[in-house]
Amino acid sequence: MNKKIIQTAFIKSLPILCSYIFVGMAYGLMMNEAGFTWWHTILISFLIYTGAFQFVLIPFLQTGTPLVTVCLSALLINSRQLFYSLTFVDEFNAMGKKKLYMIHTLTDETFAINCTLSDENKKDIMFWIAFLSRCYWMTGGLLGSVIGNLIPWNLEGIDFCMSALFIIILMDQCQNIENKKIAGIGLIVGLVCLLIFGANQFMLPSLILISCWMVFRSWSKA
């Protein structure tokens, strides 16, 4: 059973593998060019594990940015993930000692994949997806640090693989959607916030508005 669960988790996480290896290598290469060693890359990826902020952290470390600024930046950049956990409150609470690990390793990509799961062993598969995805990211960073600078690669545009990953996941979600009304409202809210707040700031207000609407909708039905 464990072998089957791990196999299922690996298959489900293949899109994350393709994305994390290449983006992780880009991160490792940037860390190497900034003067940090391979173990710095591994240590930061292990302790922080948030791709977007890890890229931002590189110039912070180079310039000696105050810790308060670093912490506030991390909170703002990753605040959207506070809402992700609400989707899996019941699953995480039922996972016992694994709960804190699941919260720490919940990323955009693992959240999207977890939303597609309907297996009876969902919680175990979620754990292995989280574990494997973290291994993918750390492996990519290590490869970038050790051999990335030895190969004359042009890394321009490599970060688009993250966008491609989300496009594929979105297509899969659209094929399996049950309540098109809720999805439509979410799309409209996202587009309105995009127009109002811009591409760099729309995610958090969109999540807040959608979450408030979902809470109100649940209360009105109670």
54-113, pLDDT tens digit by residue? 887 888 888 888 888 788 778 777 777 777 887 888 899 999 989 999 998 998 889 889
Does pLDDT of 1 surpass 60? no
Instruction: State the Cα–Cα distance between residues 207 and 203, nearest whole angstrom.
Output: 6
Cβ–Cβ < 8 Å for 126, 117 = yes
Whole-prediction pTM: 0.74
| Residue 15 φ then ψ, to 5° | -60, -35
Write out pLDDT tens, residues 110-124. Answer: 988 998 888 788 999
Work out the pLDDT band at 128, boundaries 50, 70, 90.
very high
Most trustworthy range by pLDDT among 36-50, 125-139, 206-220:
125-139
Write out pLDDT tens, residues 163-173. Answer: 666 676 667 66
pLDDT at position 43: 92
Query: Which residue from 170, 45, 162, 37 is spatially nearest to 105, judged by alpha carbons?
Result: 45
Write out pLDDT tens, residues 32-41. Answer: 888 888 899 9
Q: Determine the straight-line distance between the first and last CA of the chain, rounded to whole angstroms.
A: 39
**Residue 79 is encoded by which pair of tokens?**
């605040």
**Residue 174 is encoded by which pair of tokens?**
């659209």
DSSP state of 105: T
CA 58, 105, 96: angle at the middle one, nearest 5?
Answer: 150
**Would you list the domain boundaries of the chain?**
2-176, 179-222
